[in-house]
Structure 1
Amino acid sequence: MKIATYNVNGVNGRLPVLLRWLKEAKPDIVCLQELKCPQEKFPIEEIKKAGYNAIWKGQKSWNGVAILAKGFEITEVQNTLPGDSDDFQSRYIEAIIDQMVICCLYLPNGNPYPGEKFDYKLSWIKRFKRRTNQLIKMELPAILIGDFNIIPNDIDVYKPEKWENDALFRTEVRKAYKDLQKKGWTDSLRKIYPDETIYTFWDYLYKSYDRNAGMRLDHILLSPFLADNLTHAGVDKQVRGWEKSSDHAPTWIELKK
């Protein structure tokens, strides 16, 4: 089974890119972030024509998350991260697919640091960790998948010394990522490629993609009850080079069933 995440950076504006990638890569389950469209504008008819069921939570202008599945039913669990009834940002959707819990997330960026946006990022992470701990305690086969807006280690960014005071690379958020791993969540890409330079995002500026001056922001973490099923992982880097593509590239894993 192939499971992927893709920050599409505007699902309607980049729909041709998304549909082309779905046709070529043939993932079974896809988590999308940054839809940038209200609920009623999600291109569900085009997604269905491509062979996928979908659940989604849109938001006008920004944010928005979705889960797509080909050949599987999707049972929505929740479309809001628990713990703050005043948080209306569309950043989390959770579903059960083929007896797995799929947690699709678009974690806040947090910049500029310091400031309210960084404080919101830390509070969101705190709520997220509570949910992930519940999944571990329930001994569920679960996947945390999406745009984490966290650069876990120096190897995951071009010239790490320049990012010390960026909200993506602050000590607090990297510690939170490591805490997930300590709880038993497996970083899929690092499990398969422990020492390689692998990026999932390249800025549109400064010819970052051409120079491979990127960072790894998109992650797929497996609970202890799925980790042994991991067989392959990768990044479809070439998609970032397509015309009118997102600044992220699709990231994927394969699980044996």
Structure 2
Amino acid sequence: MRIATWNVNSIKVRMEQVGDWLNKASPDVLCLQELKCESSQFPESYFKELGYHALIAGQKTYNGVAILSRHEAQDVVIGMPKFEDHQQRLIAATINDVRIISAYCPNGEAVTSDKYQYKLNWYRALTEYLKALLSGNDQLVILGDFNIAPQDKDVYDPEAYKEEVLCTDAERQAFQQLLSLGLVDAFRQRYPDDPGFTWWHYRMNAFKRKMGLRIDHALISNALLPRLQDCQVDTTPRGNERPSDHAPLFVDLSSSNPNS
């Protein structure tokens, strides 16, 4: 089972790029973030023709998340039930007995801004939400744009980003809190030393100069770890004309526990 994630930075602008990637990578599930359109404006019919059903939590101009799936989805939930928020940042569904969450975590803007405090509060709520989910379902994957580079190795220039948003101690501690619930960073599990950058600024020719950050992640529950086959970043779409500033990330799980 291949489960992927991609912050597309406007689905209207990059619909065909997403379609091309679906045809090439053939994931069973693709989690999307930063749709930047209302649910009614999402190109659902386009993806249906490609064989994907769409679960959508859209929002005009900003935010918005979706799950595209080849398979039937059950128990769809939008947002975190115990966290009141007008921003569409989370959608979850059960697909092939795996609870899958598409997450667009807050950016935080700057350490001195109210948005940074919102980000930390949002992460505290996410931790409680996942803790409750894991208590009733050990087959869980949360993928998306976490807007956190967990370690210095995830940043092309750690000194330049030291205690800047995306790399502050508080944000990194929030990320570690998620892992402490019983989740595994799938990419780091497979590739401990590879930078694995998923985002590059549009300025300074950052992509070609390998000036990236690893801020998109796939966290899998400990129970799914025996099924983990691979987790990779596909940087090819970042070289497209008018690309998203993020690259897709995918995780491959075997169909069943090989140790069972």
Indicate whether the TM-score tops 0.5: yes
Structure 2 length as normaliser, TM-score?
Answer: 0.96
The answer for the alignment partner of 1:35 in structure 2 is 35
Residue 185 of structure 2 corresponds to 187
2:243 is paired with a residue whose SS is coil
Paired amino acid for 1:232? D
Q: Greater shift after overlay, 179-188 or 208-217? A: 179-188
Where 1:253 maps in the other structure, the secondary structure is strand
1:168 alignment counterpart: 166
Q: Is the 8 Å Cα contact of residues 148 and 217 (structure 1) preserved in structure 2?
A: yes
- Contact between 1:139 and 1:225, CA under 8 Å: does it hold in 2? no
**Aligned pairs (5 A) from 1:64-143:** 64-70=64-70, 72-85=71-84, 87-143=85-141
Q: Is the 8 A contact 1:82 1:127 kept in 2?
A: no
State the 1:183 CA deviation: 2.2
State the Cα distance separating 1:135 from its structure 2 match: 2.2
Q: C-alpha offsets along residues 137-194 of structure 1, whole Å, 9 cap, x if unaligned?
A: 2242000111000100000011011112322111011011112222220000001001
CA distance in 2, matches of 1:166, 1:227: 32
In structure 1, the gaps of 5 or more residues are none
Q: CA deviation at 1:46?
A: 0.3
Deviation at 1:31, TM superposition (A): 0.2
Where 1:211 maps in the other structure, the secondary structure is coil
Gaps of 5+ in 2: 256-260
- RMSD, aligned CA: 1.0
Counterpart CA distance in 2 for 1:77 and 1:69 is 12
Aligned counterparts of 1:114 and 1:147: Cα–Cα separation in 2: 22
Amino acid corresponding to residue 228 of structure 1 in structure 2 = P
Q: Is the 8 Å Cα contact of residues 195 and 214 (structure 2) preserved in structure 1?
A: no
Greater alpha carbon shift after TM alignment, 111-120 vs 135-144: 135-144
Q: Contact 1:54/1:74 (CA < 8 Å) preserved in 2? A: no
Q: Aligned letter for 1:83?
A: K
Residue-by-residue CA offset, 1:37-96 (whole Å, 9 max, x unaligned): 0111000010101110110110000100000111x10124310123233x1000000111
Query: What is the one-letter code of the residue matched to 1:234?
Result: Q
* Amino acid aligned to 1:205: R
Aligned equivalents of 1:63 and 1:46: distance in 2?
21
Distance in 1 (CA, whole Å) between partners of 2:163 and 2:112 is: 9
Q: What aligned pairs does 1:177-256 form with structure 2 within 5 A after superposition?
A: 177-256=175-254
Q: How does 1:56-71 map to 2 (within 5 A)?
A: 56-70=56-70
Q: Is the 8 A contact 1:17 1:244 kept in 2?
A: no
Q: CA deviation at 1:25?
A: 0.8
Residues 213-239 of structure 1 deviation map (CA, whole Å, 9 limit, x = unaligned):
000011000011211110011011111
| Structure 2 residue identity aligned to 1:17 | Q
Q: Following TM superposition, where does structure 1 have runs of at least 4 consecutive aligned residues deviating by more than 3 angstroms?
A: none
Number of corresponding residues: 255
Matched to 2:169, the amino acid is T
Quote the Cα distance in structure 2 between the aligned partners of 1:95 and 1:193: 28
Change over 3 Å in CA distance of 1:76–1:36 after alignment to 2: farther
